[in-house]
Amino acid sequence: MSLIAFASAKGSPGVTQTVTALAASWPTDPVVADLDPVGGDVALRSTAPDGTPLETERGLLSYAVALRGGRDAALDDHLQLLDDGTPVLAGVRSPAQVQGLGMAWPSVARGLAADPRDVLADCGRIVPGTPVGPVIEAADALVLVARSEVESLAHLRERLLGLREPLRISSIGSVGVGVVLVGDPGDRRSREDLERLLASAGVPVPVFGTVAYDPKAVRALRTASPRAQRRSLLFRSLVDVTSRIRELAGARAGGYDERQVV
């Protein structure tokens, strides 16, 4: 299936909310991988099906240790279930723990890309030299999440300009890149303005739409009935975004062995 990386250009625009909401509305059963190198939020915001906190020692760090030295490791051994049944690879608790991953990132990338399920990876803020770079390069799609505000869109444009060469944006065989805005789904102007801004800057990546910013609704979405979900503004804002992300990832999925992970 597909490995899809989600990241922000600056600050906290709602990447974790977007990933967890997408997982709740995804048409198949995905895995959520919390890979934010400055500390993951998924485990802090969620509980296990029995209401207890997620285990702090099982997740990304234990998976990386198991992969050390080029060894094989079963991803399922390091996953935990959220209260809605979504399997999650819990993230590190602090930036200091990232040091424990060492050179395991390429192996983590290969393991996630080879999983038979769709993997939605929260990669946090994307900056030059980010340790999660191998995962982004191995992904079938990179989705940048930004608030629909002028300053956030300006930072997004600059980040995409910086990524144009490393990711060979718009080149044949490169990682597919798209943008999801977080804000008012009825604000079509921000999406249209951003598409024009990116095209004029030489990075004509698609803007998939705007996801409603409503952190409290994410948990309700995961536990609501299908009928209640369909009435939710958050769910309705995810429908078209989800299909467009899957289409982008599907254009590259299936050829991981041909990719170069550095």
Per-residue pLDDT tens digits of the chain, which is 262 residues long = 899 999 998 766 789 889 988 998 899 999 999 999 888 888 777 889 898 999 988 999 999 989 986 778 999 999 999 988 899 999 988 877 877 687 899 999 999 999 999 999 999 998 888 889 999 999 999 999 998 888 888 889 998 998 888 888 777 667 889 999 998 888 888 888 888 889 888 888 999 999 887 766 666 666 666 566 667 788 888 888 999 999 999 887 544 333 433 3
| Distance, CA of 8 to CA of 145 (rounded, Å) | 5
| Distance, CA of 104 to CA of 181 (rounded, Å) | 32
Q: Is the pTM of this model over 0.95?
A: no
Structure tokens at 80: 């935990």
Gyration radius of the chain's alpha carbons: 17
Pairing of strands 80-81, 87-89: antiparallel
Q: Is 3.40.50.300 the CATH classification of the domain at 2-258?
A: yes
Please name every residue paired with 209 in a beta bridge, in sequence order, or none if there are none. Answer: 180
**Per-residue pLDDT, 247:** 93
**Per-residue pLDDT, 246:** 94
**Per-residue pLDDT, 227:** 63
**Per-residue pLDDT, 112:** 97
| Distance, CA of 254 to CA of 251 (rounded, Å) | 9
Rounded (5°) CA angle 205-9-97: 130
Written in H, E and C, the secondary structure of 155-199 is HHHHHHHHHCCCCCCCCCCCCEEEEEEEECCCCHHHHHHHHHHHH
CA distance between the termini of the chain: 21
Q: Where are the domains of the chain?
A: 2-258
Report CA dihedral (13, 175, 81, 115) to the nearest 10 degrees: 180
Structure tokens at 249: 């990832």
Taking the CA atoms of 78, 167, 162 and 180 in sequence, report the sign of the dihedral they define: negative
